[in-house]
Amino acid sequence: MNLGPLSRLTQRGVTQEDVVITHEDVDRAHDRVRVSAARAQRGTFSKFRLLWLLVGPGILVMLGENDGPSMISYAATGARFGIGFFIPFVILTFCMAIVVQEMTMRLGSATHRGHAELIFDRFGPFWGWFSMIDLGIGNFLTLITEFIAIRAGLGFFGVPPWAAVLSALVFLCLAVMMHRYWTWERTLLAIAVFNLIFVPVALLTHPNWHSVGSALITWKPLPGGLSQDTLIIVLADIGATVTPWMLFFQQSATVDKGLTRKDIHLGRIDTVVGAALAAVAAVATIIATAPLFAHHMTAENFQGAEFAQALQPLIGRFGAALFALGIVEAGMVASVTISISSAYAFGEVVHRPHSLNLPVAQGKAFYTVLFLCAATAGAIVLIPGLPLVYVVLLVNVVAVLAMPPALVFLFMLANDREVMGDLVSPTWANILATCVVVFLTLAGLLFGLSVIAPNLFAFIGGK
């Protein structure tokens, strides 16, 4: 048998018997045929069609990270600090997210391997399991907070908690039961765009655009100055933008979609567009809850969509309902992407089939992990007496703390010439990535110091 283009793999021990064509391959090939056809044509329309065919993982990961806890963190930010320092700061965090996520997209396109798979293969199981434990714990805690957000958001409309959790699980089932990556991606993209629902809510508060513009330029004011509370919000907002699950999700989704080296330029556009959309939604959420600060209301007693209840006297029932719906949407989309991120990583590590192109019969392990994670997290949310907002902020803080080790793996892989070839990170990308690692590590250390030595901030002039 002539393996044709596969023959070069024989150097890596690939035999004819190894070359097994699956439905997953056929589905991916259909998608690639359309990409090749669009690429072969000339004209503006064809370029847009090519972009349309290739966008997805970047937008989904960014809007997926604008999840329940993230939107609640932004809402808490607006309610506690108003319009000021945190608006440009959140935009900066999305710039960091672009730097990091571009590397995962490049890795996936160049190697056709998921992030967990690459870490295990290149660094061995010792470091691989460390990485998986970080991901597993982080993903599970975050999933819990997604269900908290869904429960709180639907609670605004009088939906009981058990029904809210059940509806989220049904949504998850419907989202992944399409057995086709393309259909799943397009459906979830259509839903994820509703993250921008926070924009009309912000407009309903009649924001002071002069203050917004001034904050963007001056990074001021920061009411209360530097304090432990401020630092927790800083970490929560960073954790609302860059988290370990995003690395694993975008790389695996890039592989599942079938992106190749030729697609990297448009993959970058996908990532930047996603970050821009997510940043708009995040800033809109801060602006939307800023009136709570102006009216001297605090966020401490608000749980999820209770922000919506607090806003109701200011923006009316319709605006408050939009806000609550936005929280539900954020939780629903992220519960899907995070569950899939866990299932992808599990499949990659145990070398079981892991693709959204798989029928249930051939992807039992993949779909079982996906549903078990979600169902367990949903059940935990039904435990009465959970301090919801505190849990949500804390999960984002933990996500930031877990980021530096995850970024070092990413950094090393993206600079690994043996797997990346000529697609290793350029110097400017390495400088930016190093800055992100140092920034995140220092932010975490500062938080640690503030806990160990609470008087530190008073000593250096804060509170």
Partner 1 sequence: MPSKDKGHSSITSSDQEMVLSSLEPEQLAGLKKHLIPRRHLKGPEKFVMWSLRIYLLFMIVVVIYQVWASLH
Q: Which residues lie near partner 1 (CB under 8 A)?
A: 1, 3-6, 8-9, 12-14, 16-26, 28-30, 32-33, 36, 111-113, 117-118, 121-124, 127, 130, 134, 255, 258, 260, 351, 353, 355, 361-362, 390, 394, 397-398, 401-402, 404-405, 408, 412, 416, 418-419, 441, 444-445, 447-448, 451-452
Beta carbon of residue 164, minimum distance to partner 1 (angstroms, whole number): 25
Nearest in space to 368 (alpha carbons), one of 382, 352, 349: 352
Beta carbon of residue 452, minimum distance to partner 1 (angstroms, whole number): 7
Q: Pick between residue 12 and residue 42 the one whose CB is nearest to partner 1.
A: 12
Beta carbon of residue 338, minimum distance to partner 1 (angstroms, whole number): 20
* Tokens coding 454: 């609470």
How far is Cα of residue 412 from the mean position of the Cα atoms in its chain? Answer: 21
Place of tokens 């070398």: 351
Beta carbon of residue 136, minimum distance to partner 1 (angstroms, whole number): 14
Beta carbon of residue 399, minimum distance to partner 1 (angstroms, whole number): 11
Q: Pick between residue 12 and residue 296 the one whose CB is nearest to partner 1.
A: 12
* Tokens coding 218: 């001056």
Which helix (H) or strand (E) element contains residue 132?
helix 115-155
Q: Pick between residue 73 and residue 335 the one whose CB is nearest to partner 1.
A: 73
Taking residue 366's Cβ as centre, other Cβ atoms within 10 Å add up to 22
Beta carbon of residue 300, minimum distance to partner 1 (angstroms, whole number): 12
Q: Pick between residue 100 and residue 402 the one whose CB is nearest to partner 1.
A: 402
Q: Pick between residue 113 and residue 151 the one whose CB is nearest to partner 1.
A: 113
Q: Pick between residue 217 and residue 361 the one whose CB is nearest to partner 1.
A: 361
CA distance 338 to 332: 10
CA distance 410 to 337: 20
Backbone angles phi, psi at 14, to 5 degrees: -80, 130
Q: Pick between residue 210 and residue 418 the one whose CB is nearest to partner 1.
A: 418
* Tokens coding 155: 């609670």
Beta carbon of residue 284, minimum distance to partner 1 (angstroms, whole number): 30
Nearest in space to 423 (alpha carbons), one of 246, 194, 268: 268
Query: Residue 102 gets which letter from DSSP?
Result: H
The answer to whether the beta carbons of residues 286 and 215 sit under 8 Å apart is no
Beta carbon of residue 124, minimum distance to partner 1 (angstroms, whole number): 6
Taking residue 146's Cβ as centre, other Cβ atoms within 10 Å add up to 30
Q: Pick between residue 1 and residue 190 the one whose CB is nearest to partner 1.
A: 1
Q: Pick between residue 141 and residue 283 the one whose CB is nearest to partner 1.
A: 141
The answer to whether the beta carbons of residues 366 and 352 sit under 8 Å apart is yes
Beta carbon of residue 58, minimum distance to partner 1 (angstroms, whole number): 19
CA distance 383 to 452: 31
CA distance 263 to 261: 5
**What's the number of CA atoms in the CB half-sphere (13 Å) around residue 40?**
6
Nearest in space to 178 (alpha carbons), one of 336, 21, 326, 331: 336
The answer to whether the beta carbons of residues 144 and 380 sit under 8 Å apart is yes
Beta carbon of residue 447, minimum distance to partner 1 (angstroms, whole number): 7
CA distance 123 to 305: 43
The answer to whether the beta carbons of residues 75 and 233 sit under 8 Å apart is no
Q: Pick between residue 29 and residue 174 the one whose CB is nearest to partner 1.
A: 29
CA distance 182 to 164: 28
* Tokens coding 222: 């920061």
Q: Pick between residue 28 and residue 151 the one whose CB is nearest to partner 1.
A: 28
Q: Pick between residue 123 and residue 371 the one whose CB is nearest to partner 1.
A: 123
Beta carbon of residue 235, minimum distance to partner 1 (angstroms, whole number): 10
Q: At what angle do helices 86-111 and 264-294 cross, to 10 degrees?
A: 160
CA distance 195 to 281: 6
Beta carbon of residue 315, minimum distance to partner 1 (angstroms, whole number): 31
* Tokens coding 376: 């367990």
